[in-house]
Amino acid sequence: MGNPALVDPATIRATAAEAWIRGYPILRNYRTLYAQAVDDADPGYVGGFGVFRHYPQPFTPADTDADTPDNDTSRSRAWLDLRTEPWVVSVPAEDRYYVLPLHELDTVYAGFIGARATGQEAGDYLVAGPGWQGEVPTGIKGVIRTATQLVGILGRTHLAGPSPEAVEELKLVQQGYRLRPLHEYAGTPAPPPAPHPVWPVWREEVMDGIEFFSFLDFLLGFFPVLPAEADLRTRLTDLGIDGRGDFEPAALPIVVRAEIERGIADGQAELRSAADRTTTSTGLFGTREQIGTEYLKQAVAAAVDLYGLPADETWYGGWAADSAGNQPPNASDRDYVVRFGPDDLPPARFFWSATMYALPERRLVDNTLDRYAIGDRTPGLVREPDGGLTLHIQHKRPANTQHSANWLPAPDGPFTIVVRLYGPDQSVLDGRWRLPPLTPL
């Protein structure tokens, strides 16, 4: 452990700012981990580590605790502790879209199991933590190696509609997702268990004070040093933040605490500024190979969408303003259309959708059709004679039958629409394909 009294005060503030930004996604992730895997009194508790909890029911306007809910897919949540041994994730053969992304402690992705990344055949995949050197057993289709000893899964599985029959079909798919420790899969003796951590109790105010670094110290114990951040970890060790989990802010000299608090304020200001400048989520999410060591970008990603997917998995777009410059769009006194030409329909390998949200809450919009999104899986859409597709976006149901078939109900006020392409074409990723305008009538 370092001696904070010997650290140059001139470097403490800068180190604290850098470390707060680096640690921001780690603590945001721990907030979720604690609720889902540790606190059995939390409504979101999944059952501990090594257990899937599935959420097959689609979102509705009654779900007011979800921000910009995705009504295309249903969730499956799990957490894995890889300290003792790897885990095996098994998936069934399935012709629908799904993805089980494995995020590490800082929310960077270790890998993906799913329709795009690994195909739609059944398979068993080994998830191995840092330093594991064991033998991969026969039958394993792929290996995902992680940089951290704790990883999470926020799976998405395509929901073919809100009907009870569609939900029951989805449940059968989700029940086919299976988690087993390696010894159980291989039929070998169980290894000695790892020590049970004393998990620090999560409190929201931790993010804003010096106690942030006590939590970070604990969590770094599950996060071996990466080469790219060796210098920062050395400077943190000099402050007593070394991954042992016994950092005590109260024991620091007053001048050191004051400099750390100033550094926290600097880091918070830098993150706010960066988030305000961010206009797209493209490039924010991915593996370490995809997003590198831009820790400010990682912090922004955690701030705007904690477990967002990389663009090659799911592309997100939409309209901040209509073609007349109204920002945000508002359906209280005007109707809108979006027309895709016959050669300009959203190019997605799996499917695409456009979901309506009322502002400012970003909630689904109650309507007579119970239609919250529209896309290539929506039954009864009417194409133009040339093969194009026009969406009618308005508050009241259109009188014209054809327009009504292509109606995306809007609120009686401001709104935003999020377009999602699952398995986007390369033309989307490189910018050759773009959304058509949102045009007021």
- pLDDT at position 96: 95
Q: Give the lowest-confidence range in 25-39, 53-67, 238-252.
A: 53-67
Give how far the C-alpha of residue 433 lies from the chain's centroid of Cα atoms, to the nearest Å.
Answer: 25
Whether residue 2 has pLDDT greater than 60: no
Strand (E) positions, 362-402? Answer: 373-375, 389-394
| pLDDT, tens digit, 9 for 90 and up, residues 418-434 | 999 999 999 999 999 99
Please compute the mean of the pLDDT values over residues 299-318 and round it to a whole number: 93
| pLDDT, tens digit, 9 for 90 and up, residues 223-260 | 999 999 999 999 999 999 999 999 999 999 999 999 99
In terms of Cβ atoms closer than 10 Å to its own Cβ (0-12, 13-18, 19+), residue 262 is middle
Which amino acid makes up residue 365?
Answer: V
Please compute the mean of the pLDDT values over residues 361-384 and round it to a whole number: 94
- pLDDT at position 213: 97
Q: Measured between alpha carbons, how far is 16 from 264 in angstroms, rounded to an integer?
A: 6
Whether residue 151 has pLDDT greater than 90: yes
What is the SS3 assignment for 194?
A: coil
Percent of the chain with pLDDT over 90: 88
- pLDDT at position 161: 81
Helical residues (DSSP H) of 278-332, grouped into ranges: 288-291, 295-304
173, 157 Cβ separation under 8 angstroms: yes
Give how far the C-alpha of residue 310 lies from the chain's centroid of Cα atoms, to the nearest Å.
Answer: 9
| pLDDT, tens digit, 9 for 90 and up, residues 168-190 | 999 999 999 999 999 999 999 99
Start-to-end CA span in the chain (Å): 67
Model-level pTM greater than 0.85?
Answer: yes
pLDDT band at 281 (very low <50, low <70, confident <90, very high): confident
Whether residue 31 has pLDDT greater than 90: yes
Q: Measured between alpha carbons, how far is 439 from 329 in angstroms, rounded to an integer?
A: 10
Residue 106 φ then ψ, to 5°: -100, 15
- pLDDT at position 7: 60
Beta-carbon-side half-sphere exposure of residue 173 (alpha carbons within 13 Å)? 29
Selected residue with higher pLDDT from 164 and 100: 100
Give the residue carrying structure tokens 């910018």.
431
Strand (E) positions, 146-218? Answer: 150-158, 178-181
- pLDDT at position 3: 60
Please compute the mean of the pLDDT values over residues 89-115 and round it to a whole number: 97
Whether residue 28 has pLDDT greater than 70: yes
Per-state percent for the chain, helix, strand, coil, to nearest 5: 30, 25, 50
- The tokens for 12 are 């403490």
**In the sheet where 415-424 sits, what is the strand order?**
314-318, 415-424, 348-358, 373-375
Whether residue 8 has pLDDT greater than 90: no
What is the SS3 assignment for 79?
A: strand
The per-residue DSSP string of 104-155 comes to -TTS-EEEEEETTTT-SS-EEEEEE-TT---PPPTT--EEEE-SSSEEEEEE
- pLDDT at position 142: 97
Contact partners, residue 81, CB within 8 Å, separation at least 6: 49, 50, 149, 150, 194
- The tokens for 188 are 């070998």
- pLDDT at position 282: 79
Distance of CA 355 to CAs 81, 370, 372, Å?
Answer: 35, 12, 6
Percent of the chain with pLDDT over 70: 98
- pLDDT at position 390: 97
| pLDDT, tens digit, 9 for 90 and up, residues 316-360 | 999 989 999 999 999 999 999 999 999 999 999 999 999 999 999
Selected residue with higher pLDDT from 292 and 437: 437
- pLDDT at position 69: 87
Please compute the mean of the pLDDT values over residues 148-155 and round it to a whole number: 98
Mean per-residue pLDDT over the chain, rounded: 94
115, 92 Cβ separation under 8 angstroms: no
Whether residue 5 has pLDDT greater than 90: no
